[in-house]
Chains A and B, each alone.
Chain A
Amino acid sequence: MRSLFDRMFVDPFNRLADQSAHVIPILIMVLVTLIIGGFLAFVARLLTYRLLQLAQFDRLVQRTGFSSMIDRTGVFRSPADLGARFVQALVWLFTVLFALNAADTPASVELVRRFVDYIPNLIAAGLVLLLGVAVSRMISRSALLAAVNAQWPAARLIAGGVRVLVMTLAIVIALEQLHIGSLPLLVAFAIVFAGIVFALALAFGLGARDMARQWLEAKVRTSVAEEEVFRHL
């Protein structure tokens, strides 16, 4: 018959030793994976930065106009830096997933499975946002040019408004993809936008009625008069 001492102290210690023998190698493996992954991510960042610099990536992005946006964030030194850090983050992410999977606990396996299932949504949302940036830029530039060529004084305001509108739409669609409630954002935007338009209409129509009439009259008169007398071709 086993003594009370064995049951109170030796058995729990043996059980703890058994469990530790099972968990410690896993913990060590996770730790080593994270260290190696971190190192690989750092190397990937350096290599990507070098490659992008060699390929004159900064110059290329400068032409698209994204450079100024990146500068304005104050986080990244250059488009190449942004690209390199993005690659680093990706390597890190996969390292963490690999480590969690290697841990082989029910919770970590479930977490990895859920994340993998979520990846298509993340990609779709990212693409929607990228497309939104490109389209908003294109449309706002078209609006700016049309407004400047029509000699509207608030040309930049109009272009900015168009950009915000398109980007808001893109963000709402991206949030939908991520299954994050986008309705409150959409409603808030609609309320604010409608409010601004209504306020402007009231201000222009009531507050500056005479000015509005004169402006429209002048607009019609000068455009007709100039079309009639001036030939450019």
Chain B
Amino acid sequence: MDELFPAELKSRLDQIGEADIIVGIPSYNNARTIGHVVRAVSVGLAKYFPAQRSVIMNSDGGSRDKTQEVVMQAEGGADDLLLVSHPVHASYRISTPYHGIPGKGSAFRAIFAVADYLHAKACVVVDSDLRSITPAWVELLARPVLEHGYDYIAPYYQRHKYDGTITNGIIYPMTRTLYGKSVRQPIGGEFGFSGSLARRYLEKDVWDTDVARFGIDIWMTVTAIAEGFRVGQAYLGAKIHDAKDPGADLTSMFRQVVGSFFSLMEIYENVWKKVSSHEAVPMFGFPFEVGVEPLTVNTDRMIHAAQQGITDLREIYSAFLSPKTLVDLTSFVHRNGQGFHVPDELWVHMIYEAATAYRHRRIDRDHLLQSLVPLYLGRTASFVLEVTESNAMQVEERIEKLGQVFESEKPYLTQQWDAAGKERLHAQPV
């Protein structure tokens, strides 16, 4: 634990002693937006938790744009125009660089450690590039933990129909199918969790893996569900980010998120194999309609990426996709424009076969994940073409339908998973 705390931070934490709520804000060169986030959090803590001792902690990845100075200098929450009641305790503010692999997960680890050290009852984490955060987000994410006995609160946002395609196409339906909880935004980025769950996270030895990077969100969600912690959701409205997320390269993001999910399937095999249906997760907050930012998507470019992938990566695909899936994929993908289509069943089989191959190391894991990117782009293009004329509700129904296909095909996953395991066992004497 000591390596996570520089001497300066430790003495500051000793001064603070204990805290009820920790709000963690990971950052890397977010000077432009983090001031607004810190201000919203400060107001939220002062307004909704005036009697609680709170700490705002910025866990920084070595920013060179004065992000840390902006955090420390941002205005506090004691603004008469915004507050109904005045805080009994002023909230403390810490800005410290984290240690370990550069990434969001390492930043979160430092936040978990501080929460543990200060014996926090509840923690909230929010991104530092949020433009749509309001003080109410702090309440929505922390109160279910503090007052209703929940351990983990995932966010629920209104998003544009083309936004969050890894979530909609893979992570949400898979989480629901495998772990039986319908958490709509399992990799949303903003979360509330209990001090005991933070301690559980800290006990895990995952900080040299992709969990230390973009894999952290799905790892937190799946760990909470699979280990039986009480899980809820909070309606936060719209999520609007700053325009550019530094280092958000699709291939590495996809590799880290999907790779972490596949690794968790290996760890919690005994959990997901027993799950046969899903249940709704309680939602806190008052759902309301919000306008979402318009998005434009270049489907031609995505289709081209998928077609090139099928042509150039055939040898790699044949190492982990079944012959039938490969034939179907080829016939569907080599069509252009509106005729281009990747059916749900085919997509689900591809993901299940990839997860099985990842588990049994049929090919190098990194290569497998990278080779899925063109297939993902093809599926995304197919989805975009399909919902071009659909409204938000119709799109949600479409995602629901995909979730049902993932669920109905789960026996296929189990059968593939077990068959590959036996085959591997048989081949081991060599």
Does B362 lie within 8 Å of A63, measured CB to CB? yes
From residue 325 to 380 of chain B, which have CB atoms closer than 8 A to chain A?
Answer: 362-364, 367, 370-371, 373-374, 380
Say which residue of A56, A156, A231 sits within 8 Å of B163 (CB atoms).
A231
Cα distance, A56 to B427, chains bound together (Å): 6
| Interface size bracket, A side | 20 to 34
The reply to whether B297 and A230 contact each other, CB–CB distance below 8 Å, is: yes
> Once the chains bind, are A148 and B309 in contact (CB under 8 Å)?
yes
A141 touches B316 (CB 8 A): yes
Give the distance to chain B from A231, nearest Cβ to Cβ, in Å: 5
> How extensive is the interface on chain B, given as a class?
35 or more
Q: How far is the CB of B39 from chain A (nearest CB, A)?
A: 24
Encode contact with B along A123-165: 1 for CB under 8 Å, 0 otherwise. 0000000000000001001101110110101011000000000
Q: Is the CB of A233 within 8 A of B162?
A: no
- Pick the contact of B426: A56, A151, A222 (CB < 8 A): A56
Overall SS of chain A's interface: helix
Interface pair B367/A145, CB less than 8 Å apart: yes
A146 to B297, CA, bound (A): 22
Q: A residues 70-102 with Cβ under 8 Å of B?
A: none
- Is B301 a contact of A151 with CB atoms below 8 Å? yes
Report if B187 contacts A (CB, 8 A): yes
* B305 engages A232 (CB within 8 Å): no
Rounded to whole Å, the gap between the CB of B276 and the closest CB of chain A is: 28
**B-facing mask of A198-230, CB < 8 A → 1, else 0?**
000000000000000000000000100011111
In the complex, are the beta carbons of A151 and B162 less than 8 A apart?
no
CB of B384, distance to nearest CB on chain A (Å): 10
Residue A66, interface by CB 8 Å: no
Contact across chains for A138 and B298 when beta carbons are under 8 A apart: no
Residues of A contacting B243 in the complex (Cβ-Cβ under 8 angstroms):
228
Q: Which residues of A contact B217 (CB under 8 A)?
A: 233
CB contact list, B156-209 vs A, under 8 A: 162-167, 187, 189
Q: Is B313 part of the binding interface, using a Cβ–Cβ cutoff of 8 Å?
A: yes
Return the chain A residue nearest B170 by Cβ.
A232
**Contact string, B260-302, partner A, CB cutoff 8 A, digits 1/0?**
0000000000000000000000000000000000011110010
CB of B394 within 8 Å of the partner chain: no
- Which 7 pairs show the lowest CB-CB distances between chains A and B? A145-B370, A55-B430, A232-B166, A149-B251, A155-B312, A148-B312, A228-B243
Listed by A's residue number, 9 A-B pairs whose Cβ atoms lie within 8 Å are A56-B427, A149-B251, A149-B305, A149-B373, A222-B301, A226-B301, A227-B248, A230-B162, A232-B166
Interface residues of A (CB under 8 A from B): 55-57, 59-60, 63, 65, 68, 138, 141-142, 144-146, 148-149, 151, 153, 155-156, 222, 226-233
